[in-house]
Amino acid sequence: MGSSERFANGYGRNLGRAYEVLRSEGVRALWFRILGQAVYRRTILFERDLFEKGLEESLRPQSAAIEVTISELKWSEADEYAAFLPGVTAAEVRSRLEQGHRCFIARHEGIAANAVWAATGSARIRYLDCEIQLAPDEVYIYESYTAPAFRRRHIAGARAAAMLQYFRGSSFTRMLAAVMPENAGGIGAALKAGYRPIGVIGWAGIRPWRRYFCRIEAGSRPVTLNRHPSPRA
C-alpha cells in the first residue's frame, strides 16, 4: 500500500468517526472533540457529600433487576477485569491496586456486569493528563462501566449504594468525579447518584505552554491539580 493510499484510508477513518460524533452528539460535541485534540480540554467536577441531609435513602441496600453480588476486585482478578473492559490491561489493573485504588465490581452468576474505581491520596485524570490531589477524607471515583448485556438493569445503583456505605463507614466525607460536558449519559448518571456540579477543570494551550485551570464555585472546597503527573495507570 502506497503512502497516498494510507493517507486516504486514515482520512476516511477520521472522517467516519467525525460523522458518527456529529450524528449522535451534535455539532457542539464535535467541535469540542476537535479542540480537545489540540488546544483545549475540560471536564465538569462533581461532588457527593457523604454526610448531607437525606443521604440515608441512598445508603439503603438497593436491588438490581437481576441478582448480583458486589465485592472488591482482587489482585488475582486483574485478567478478568482486563477482559471485562476493553482498552485496559491486566498490568494497569495491578498497578492501580498497588497504588491503593479500589475497584467495586458487581457480578451476575459470576460474570462481571458493572464496576467502578475509587482512588485516595491522588488520582490521575487521564483525559486531562494531570493528577488531582485529594484530602485524607476525599475519594475520587472514576471509570464507571457497565457491560452492554447488563445495561438498564439498575446494577450501577445497587453497586453505588454499597460503595457509599463503605466509604462513609471509613471516615470519608466527600466523593469527587469528573465528567466531560459532552457526555450526557455520564452527567445524568452522576446527578441520579446524588452528585452535584461544583466547577470546571481543564487546560488550554499547546505544550509546553499549556495552562491548567480549576474553577470551583464559591463556597465549595477547593481542589488541587498536579500538572506533571508521574506515569501511572
* Band (39; pLDDT cuts 50, 70, 90): confident
Least confident range from 1-5, 33-37, 177-181, 196-200: namely: 1-5
In percent, the amount of the chain with pLDDT more than 90 equals 58
Taking 90 as the threshold, does the pLDDT of residue 227 lie above it?
Answer: no
pLDDT (average), residues 121-137: 94
* Band (37; pLDDT cuts 50, 70, 90): low
Give 184 or 20, the one with higher predicted confidence.
184
pTM of this structure: 0.80
Least confident range from 7-16, 93-102, 156-165, 202-211: namely: 7-16
CA distance 30 to 96: 32
At 206 the pLDDT is: 81
The CA distances from residue 42 to 130, 181, 203, 205, in Å, are: 12, 8, 6, 12
* Band (34; pLDDT cuts 50, 70, 90): low
**β-pair partners for 71:** 105
CA distance 213 to 210: 10
CA distance 39 to 202: 11
Each residue's pLDDT tens digit, 2-33:
433 432 343 334 334 433 434 545 555 555 56
